[in-house]
């Protein structure tokens, strides 16, 4: 087959959350090779420009597929009304290196991120959890209710964002998806009233306070994927059973690093990774009274699992089209 070019719409259709969450669970349970991501600075063309950042995130399963996500981040784009981040995903055959598909990386990133949080919640949230608080109103935040609904019977969603207009807009979109949803102006009240609190922001200062977490709450922290970012205070870690997507979270997340610096959390207290949960090597929620916390920073394993789903769907469509002719 020729190289497939799969756009954002086709990528989205190929990644319904139930199937994507199941694919991530299989991927975390198996042996996937995931080198550390490469980070490169791109110097500006002249003194008036701004530098950019290039991320390269490879992963592979021997005998199956090799994939690499390329992410470019140019912060100065915001002032020009251009997206700050662009990404693409290139999938290859792992037996001979043939390029198979070029996939929309932005869609893969957003959906696999929300799906990973839902996968963690399937182990860590109470089985009777029905109330979700979403902190943030961006692209990933907009997907969290749909993702969580694939693993828990979510009946009511509260959305909080620093901009009330953004909270109201997302709440309106979620209502069209069948959720009972309200925007919130009081974050403390929204957190105290939720069974699952899921944060997807670019905050550099704590938003969620440990004092607000009630017995049985599951806290999901998606932002804070650099040392400078924070979504929660140290008390959230001190009073929770803490799980991470990978051990890189302990090195990269400002939330975890600050809790460690303050003496409120010790790295050996991490209860396990998402891989350990998926393999049954560590116990998730132990009782309805547990306060659980999941801190993610993202991993190329998730991108590969998503890209494989997209490629399989595209091949099925191509086979069906050939069969009609």
SS3 294: strand
H or E stretch at 87: strand 85-93
272 plus 315 within the same structural domain: no
Instruction: Compute CA distances 59 → 7, 11, 91, 288, 325, whole Å.
Output: 21, 19, 10, 36, 36
250 plus 281 within the same structural domain: yes
Would you tell me how many other CB atoms lie within 10 Å of the CB of residue 102?
15
Higher pLDDT, 322 or 103: 103
Higher pLDDT, 191 or 323: 191
Domain that holds residue 307: 4-108+301-323
Section 224-239 average pLDDT: 94
Confidence of residue 324 (pLDDT cuts 50, 70, 90): low
Confidence of residue 298 (pLDDT cuts 50, 70, 90): very high
* Distance separating alpha carbons of residues 190 and 159, to the nearest angstrom: 8
pLDDT for 196-219, tens place per residue?
Answer: 999 999 899 999 999 999 999 999
CATH number for the domain that contains residue 48: 3.30.1780.10
Q: Residue 45: its pLDDT value, please?
A: 79
Confidence of residue 284 (pLDDT cuts 50, 70, 90): very high
**Structural domains of the chain, count:** 2
SS3 58: strand
Asked if residue 250 has pLDDT above 90, the reply is yes
60 plus 183 within the same structural domain: no
Confidence of residue 107 (pLDDT cuts 50, 70, 90): very high
57 plus 146 within the same structural domain: no
* Distance separating alpha carbons of residues 315 and 104, to the nearest angstrom: 16
pLDDT for 170-202, tens place per residue?
Answer: 999 999 999 999 999 999 999 999 999 999 998
In terms of Cβ atoms closer than 10 Å to its own Cβ (0-12, 13-18, 19+), residue 23 is buried
Alpha helices in 49-127 (DSSP H): 105-124
CATH number for the domain that contains residue 174: 3.40.50.720
Query: What is the 8-class DSSP label of residue 256?
Result: H
Section 274-291 average pLDDT: 97
* Distance separating alpha carbons of residues 24 and 22, to the nearest angstrom: 5
Asked if residue 75 has pLDDT above 90, the reply is no
177 plus 288 within the same structural domain: yes
128 plus 103 within the same structural domain: no
Asked if residue 137 has pLDDT above 80, the reply is yes
């Amino acid at each position: 087959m020729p190289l497939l070019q799969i756009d954002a719409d086709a990528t989205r259709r190929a990644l319904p959350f139930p199937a994507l969450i199941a694919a991530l669970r299989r991927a975390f349970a198996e042996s996937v090779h995931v080198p550390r991501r490469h980070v490169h600075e791109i110097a500006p063309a002249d003194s008036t420009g701004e530098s950019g950042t290039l991320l390269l995130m490879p992963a592979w399963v021997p005998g199956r597929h090799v994939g690499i996500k390329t992410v470019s981040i140019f912060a100065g784009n915001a002032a020009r009304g251009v997206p700050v981040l662009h990404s693409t995903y290139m999938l290859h055959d792992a037996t001979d290196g043939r390029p198979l598909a070029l996939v929309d990386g932005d869609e893969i990133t957003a959906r696999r991120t929300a799906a990973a949080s839902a996968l963690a919640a399937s182990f860590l949230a109470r089985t009777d959890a029905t109330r979700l608080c979403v902190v943030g109103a961006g692209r990933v935040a907009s997907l969290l209710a749909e993702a969580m609904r694939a693993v828990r019977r979510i009946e009511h969603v509260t959305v909080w964002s620093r901009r009330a207009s953004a909270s109201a807009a997302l709440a309106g979109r979620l209502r069209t998806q069948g959720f009972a949803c309200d925007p919130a102006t009081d974050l403390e009240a929204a957190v105290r009233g939720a069974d699952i609190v899921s944060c997807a922001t670019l905050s550099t200062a704590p938003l969620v306070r440990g004092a607000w977490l009630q017995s049985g709450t599951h806290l999901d922290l998606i932002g804070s994927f650099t040392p400078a970012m924070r979504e929660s205070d140290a008390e959230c870690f001190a009073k929770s059973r803490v799980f991470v997507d990978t051990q890189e979270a302990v090195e990269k997340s400002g939330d975890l690093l600050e809790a460690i610096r303050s003496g409120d959390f010790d790295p050996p207290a991490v209860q396990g990774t998402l891989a350990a949960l998926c393999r049954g090597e560590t116990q998730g929620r132990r009782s309805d009274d547990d306060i659980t916390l999941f801190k993610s920073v993202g991993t190329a394993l998730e991108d590969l699992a998503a890209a494989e789903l997209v490629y399989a769907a595209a091949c099925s469509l191509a086979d069906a089209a050939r069969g009609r002719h």
